Amino acid sequence: MASKHDIHPVAPAPFPVEGPGNAFFSNSRLALTILAVPLVLVVLVGLPLSLYPFVALLTALPSFAAYNVWYCHVAPPIRPQKGLPGAPLDTYMEFKDKDLAAAYGQPTAKIPIEIFFENYFEQKIDVKGDLLDVLEARHDWARFVWSWGQVSFFLTQWIPETLWHSKKQDEDQVREHYDRGDDFYEAFLGPMMVYTSGVMTTTDSRETLEEMQQNKLNMITKKINLKPGDRMLDIGCGWGTLAVHGAKQGANATGLTLAKKQAAWGMGKAAEAGVADRVNILCMDYRDLPKEKFDKITCVEMAEHVGVLRFQTFLLQVREMLEDDGVFYIQVAGLRRSWQYEDLMWGLFMAKYIFPGADASTPLNWFIEQLERAGFEIQSTETLGVHYSATIYRWYSNWLKNKDTIIDKYGVRWFRIWEYFLAYSTIVARQGSATVFSIVCHKNLNSFTRQQWVPRQKWVQG
């Protein structure tokens, strides 16, 4: 069944709003708060000053959290909000819970975004109409402030997981997520089963999801100059679609995933395509990969799961596996440096429900720094955020079409979690809160033949 979301190449942006964020945020005041709180406690309690470092260590995180909780309530928007419908909250949703109705039932009330989505998942709130439309007008009815649930998640789960990233942690998170069921993911990814951003070639007409994903596969193999006989490694290969595509072009492709169902699905697709003899999808942690050399290495929206703590070690491992004249392609979901509080609220939701452990989503400069420190030279970078939004927009349309099937098997809660994820991600990628960086690089060696890039640099062609 067709829907209104099958019309536009990119989801329209009816009510863009620049909310509060780092434009007025003061890191120096935050640092002063973190340093002053323990000093005040030491003086008030009458402790010796020698205990100040110990007290500071204990109060640093709570002070950091308290300052952010306070500031997001008082921070001004980057620009005055104009163009919103100005409709009351009950225009957009209906409360099924009497306590929620009592707290937020007034026409002028606004609800913290975390309170909204948690209760929407629990069916204590119903939205009126299409969720994407409701979220487009979210600044009419939502407050982008820290709630206790988010503070608790940030302090007790996000920080510990960011600082650890053990093999067991990564395996448990990935398998719980990706081994849920192939039918769950096919309900929005479609038959190609590619869980990464596609690529548009035009905005004058609407390309299908499958066309966009085929564009992306072709883009990657062109960027790495894949040739018949190349040994190709795809780290975090998902359902193996890129590995199979590379094998169709004559490469000997190895894929790597932690999800058992993905590996089995990918090998099945390789057999269907008649290239099973050139595809090997391994179900293992990237840290356990046997030491061998590859001509081309790709990592498409998996490196986020490596984590900030282990990112440099990961890149050094990639460099060691890459031939001296090889090419490394990394496509990674990132964030804008000039953040808004809305970005943080979305990021915490994603970390809790969609991509747990994917804490290495950062601004572009951090990725470039990490790659250069690991001995890579950057050949090119592109920002694919609008392509990411257009891809998720099509996933959202697919998800709505399969609503009854998903609810019958997985329940209303799982349907609503992914409905919110896909609707809201369509918006945040379109407006720049989140994006995708496409980076081509190689070893920074004097012997590398750099002139190979010249024919593909469009600006030299006239």
pLDDT by 10s per residue, the chain, length 462: 568 899 999 999 999 999 999 988 999 999 999 999 999 999 999 999 999 999 999 999 889 888 988 999 899 998 878 889 999 999 999 999 999 999 998 888 999 999 999 999 999 999 999 999 999 999 999 999 988 888 777 777 767 676 664 555 555 545 455 557 789 999 999 999 999 999 999 999 999 999 999 999 999 999 999 999 999 999 999 999 999 999 999 999 999 998 888 999 999 999 999 999 999 999 998 888 878 999 999 999 999 988 888 999 999 999 999 999 999 999 999 999 999 999 999 988 998 899 876 677 899 999 999 999 999 999 999 999 999 999 999 999 999 999 999 999 999 999 999 999 999 999 999 999 999 999 999 999 999 999 989 887 765 554
Domains and CATH numbers, the chain: 27-74 (no CATH), 167-460 (3.40.50.150)
- Residue 175 token pair: 């398998």
- Look at the pTM and tell me if it is higher than 0.85: yes
Residue 308 and residue 360: Cα distance in Å, rounded?
Answer: 5
Inter-residue contact 317 to 375 (CB < 8 Å): no
Residue 289 and residue 301: Cα distance in Å, rounded?
Answer: 19
Angle between helices 52-74 and 27-45 in degrees, nearest 10? 130
Inter-residue contact 455 to 377 (CB < 8 Å): no
Inter-residue contact 125 to 389 (CB < 8 Å): no
Residue 256 and residue 130: Cα distance in Å, rounded?
Answer: 38
Cα–Cα distances (Å) from 24 to 71, 146, 341, 397, in that order, read: 10, 17, 12, 37
Q: Whole-angstrom distance between the N-terminal and C-terminal Cα of the chain?
A: 46
Note the helical H segments in 17-130.
Answer: 27-45, 52-74, 98-104, 113-121
Residue 73 and residue 31: Cα distance in Å, rounded?
Answer: 19
Nearest to 357 by CA among 200, 101, 176: 176
